[in-house]
Chain A
Amino acid sequence: MRGIVKVVEKATGFFNNLLSMKQVDPECKVHPLPSTLPATLFSDTLMPMDHIVTVERLSKSYGAVKAVDDISFGIAEGSCFGLLGPNGAGKTTTIEIMEGITAPSGGRVLFRGQPLGADFKGKVGIQFQTTALPEFITVKETLELFSAFYNRPRPMEEVIRLCSLEDILTRDNQKLSGGQRQRMLLALAIIPKPELVFLDEPTTGLDPQARRNFWELIGRIKAERTTVLLTTHYMDEAQILCDRVAIMDKGKILEIDTPDALLAKHFEGVLIHLPYDGCCADSLAGFEGLVMSENSIELQTNTLDTSLKQLLAAHVNLEGLSIHKPNLEDLFIKLTGSSLRV
C-alpha cells in the first residue's frame, strides 16, 4: 500500500513538474544586465528599499513588433501607480509580464527584490482587462470558489463590503451589468488580501457614473495601504487615483513622475483652446507656445489677460474659446504629438 502511495506521489510530482514548466518563470528569461550601466538609466527606479515591485529593462517582442521596448520602473509600497497610454501602447503586455502570466523577451521583474517565486500568485491580486467567469454560478458561489484557492483568504463579508456586492450576491455571473461585473472582478482580485493589486483598464467601457463608483472602490483598497498598479487610457482617472504615473507609447515610457510634477514640468499657466477655421494663420505665427492642428488652436500662457487681448488684436474669431488648467490629457498630446488613440 505504501508502495502504491509512493508511486502516486512520484507520478503527481512528475505531473506538477511537467506543468510548472509551463508556468512563466521570468528567471529563465533574464538577460544579464551589463555590469557598467549608465548611472541615469535607473534614475527613477534605482530599487529603493520601499519598492514592492521593480521592472528592469523589460522588453517583449511579437515577431518584428516590439510591444514593450526596454522599460524600467519601480513602484513604492502602498502607492497607486498608473500606467497610461493609448490602446496598443504596451500597457497590457507590461502588466501581464509583471503578473507572471506572460514571459518577457528580455529584462526581469522583481517582487520585494526577488524574482517572482512560487508563492507570488498567492500574494497578488489580478484583474484582467477581459475575463469570462464560470457560467451558471452566482456571484457568491464564485467568491467561494476563488476563496478556496488561497491559504488565508479575506473574510467573505469584507470582500462583499469593500466591493459593494451586497445586492448581486445571488445573481448569475452571466447576468451582471458592465459595472457589476467589474466590481465582481475586483472582488476576485482582492480575495487573497493581496500586497499588490494589478488592475488592467478596469473602467474601460463603463458609463461615467459606474466609473466614478469604481474609483471609490479603488479608493477603499488604497486606504488599506495595498499597492495598486493601474493601467488606463483615461487621464482623468489617473489624475484622481494615481500617486505616480508613467506615460507609455509604442512600447516605451515617455515620462514618469507624480501627475503634478509632470504637469508642472511641461506646462505653465493655463491653456486656451480655440476652434480653428483656417483664417489669420499669418497673424498667429508670432504667438509663443501656440500649437496648431487641423481644426484647433492651443495656446499655453502665463498671462491670460495679455494673450486674449493679443488674439483680439489679431482679429481671431473667439467663438468657441475655452480656457482650462492643463491635465494629463494635454500632457499626453504634447508628449506624443497625437491625441489619444482610444
Chain B
Amino acid sequence: MIIRQFKAMFKARTMEFVRDRGTFFWNLLFPLFLVFGIAFAFSGGEEKLYKIGTIGSANSELSILAMDQMQVILYGDAATALQKLERHQVDMVIDFEAGQYAINHQSNKGRLLRDLFVAQQAATVRIPGDAPAPAFAERTVSGLAARYIDWLVPGVIGMNMMFSSLFGVGYVLVRYRKNGVLKRFKATPVKALNFVSAQAASRLIIVLLTSVFVFVGSNFFLRFMMRGNYLTLLLLTTLGILCMIALGLVFAARLRSEELAGGLLNLITFPMLALSGVFFSLEGSPPILQTIAGLFPLTHFIAAARQVMLDGAGLLTIAPHLAYLAGFTAVCMLLSAALFKWE
C-alpha cells in the first residue's frame, strides 16, 4: 500500500517536473552553458612563468633557479611535488636530497626546462678546488595537464546539484503548502513521511540524471580529466544530492511563504557558492573563511569530487567527506521530520 502510494506520488512529481519544459531545460542546459562559457573565457591566457618545484635545501648556485622567468616552489616531500608535476601544476622538480630532477615527458615546457638545465649545468665554469658540480639523474613522470576547466567541472556539477535540490524540493513544497496541494494530500490516508520521501526520491533521480547529463555533455566537447572510479563518483554524487535535498526539506518543513523560502534559500546558497570552491580555490584565504567553508556540505562534495576526478582518489581517501555528507543528511532528515507540517 505504502509502496503503491509512493510510486504514484513519485510518478506525479516527476511528470510535473519533466513537463514543465522551461524549468526542465533550464535545469539541464544552464550548467552546460556555464561550463562551455567558462571554458571559452579561460581558453587563452597561459601563465608565462615556469614553475620549478624543489625538495631539500636549494642550491642557489643553480643558474636556472636564479632566472627571472622561474617561480621556485619548495615542497616538503618528493611525492607531493611529483604529483603536482604529473598534473602539470609545476613544470620541473629538482630534488636535491635524492640528486634527481624530474620532468613530465608530456609537457613541452618540462622538456624545454630540462634542455636548459642540462646545458646550463654543462656550461658552468668551475673554479679549480671547489666542490664538484652536483650531478643530477633524470627521472620522468607522465600525466596530462589539469586545466582550469578540469578543476571547474566538479564545482559546476556541485553548484547545479545544490540549486536544483534545494529549490526543487524546498521551494516546491512551500508552494504546495501555500496553494493547498499539501492540505489535499493531508485529507487522504497518505502519511507525511511517505509523501516527502516520494518528493525527495523524484528529485534525487532528476538531479542525478541532470548531473550525469552535464558530465557526459561537457566531457563530449571538453574531454576533461577523470582519473578516478566512476562508481565512486556516482556514490559521492548521490550522497551529495541527498544531503542537499535533506537541507531543502528543513526549509520546506513548515514555511508558508514562497518569498521567505526563496530568501532563506538564497541566504544559504550564495555563501556556499562563494565559499565552497565552485569557481576558485580557498587555499591561502583567511583560516576563518576556510573554517566556515568546511561546514558547508557543498565544500565537501566538491573537494571529494576533485580528489576523485583529478587525483584518482578512492573511497578510502574521500571517506571523511562522505562521512560528513552522510552525517549532515541524517541531521537534516531528522530535523525536517520533527518540524514538518502539512499546513
Contacts and interface: CB of A to CB of B under 8 A. Distances in A.
Chain B binds chain A: yes
Contacts of B1: 151
A148 B20 contact: no
A23 B182 CA distance: 13
Nearest to B254: A22
Interface stretch (B2-10, B27-35, B152-160, B310-318): B2-10
A144 B16 CA distance: 14
B205 to A, nearest CB: 17
Contacts of A273: none
Contacts of A65: none
A188 interface: yes
Interface stretch (A124-132, A202-210, A219-227, A281-289): A124-132
B181 A148 contact: no
A147 to B, nearest CB: 8
Contacts of B17: 136
B74 interface: no
A15 B187 contact: no
Contacts of A150: 188-189
B105 interface: no
A150 B187 CA distance: 12
Contacts of B215: none
Interface string A2-28: 000000000010011011101100000
A323 interface: no
Nearest to B7: A148
B142 to A, nearest CB: 44
B338 A18 contact: yes
Given A22-B340, A136-B16, A137-B15, A15 B186 contact: no
B162 to A, nearest CB: 24
Contacts of B13: 134
A68 B331 CA distance: 40
A135 B189 contact: no
B256 interface: no
Interface string B171-213: 0000010011101101111111100000000000000000000
A149 B342 contact: no
Nearest to B333: A15
A15 B196 CA distance: 12
B19 interface: yes
Interface residues of B, number: 34
A250 interface: no
Nearest to B196: A19
Interface string A108-151: 00000000000101100010101111111100011011111111
B4 A148 contact: yes
B337 interface: yes
A12 B338 CA distance: 13
Contacts, number: 85
Given A145-B9, A148-B8, A133 B184 contact: yes
A69 interface: no
B109 interface: no
B341 interface: yes
A147 B176 CA distance: 20
Given A130-B180, A149-B8, A135 B192 contact: no
A149 B183 CA distance: 14
A146 B195 CA distance: 12
B133 interface: no
Interface residues of A, number: 34
A135 B180 contact: no
A144 B8 CA distance: 8
B189 A122 contact: yes
A149 B11 CA distance: 13
A68 B188 CA distance: 25
B12 interface: yes
A149 B5 CA distance: 5
Chain B CB within 10 A, most for which of A15, A101, A133? A15
A99 interface: yes
Given A22-B341, A137-B12, A149 B180 contact: no
Nearest to B19: A136
A5 to B, nearest CB: 15
A16 B193 contact: yes
Contacts of A141: 12, 15
Nearest to B1: A151
Contacts of A134: 12-13, 16, 181
Contact of B191 (A19, A135, A144, A148): A19
B184 A131 contact: yes
A133 B17 CA distance: 14
B197 to A, nearest CB: 9
Contacts of A145: 8-9, 11-12
Nearest to A172: B19
A122 B183 CA distance: 15
Contacts of B8: 144-145, 147-149
The 4 closest A-B pairs by CB, nearest first: A148-B8, A132-B179, A136-B19, A126-B187
Interface of B: 1, 4-5, 7-9, 11-13, 15-17, 19-20, 176, 179-181, 183-184, 186-193, 337-338, 340-343
Given A20-B191, A149-B8, A149-B188, 17 more contacts: A15-B193, A16-B193, A19-B191, A19-B340, A22-B341, A23-B186, A101-B183, A101-B186, A131-B184, A133-B181, A134-B12, A134-B181, A137-B15, A137-B16, A148-B8, A149-B189, A150-B189
22 contacts: A15-B337, A16-B191, A19-B340, A22-B192, A22-B342, A121-B189, A126-B187, A131-B183, A132-B179, A132-B180, A134-B12, A134-B16, A137-B12, A137-B19, A141-B12, A142-B12, A146-B188, A147-B8, A148-B4, A148-B8, A149-B188, A149-B190
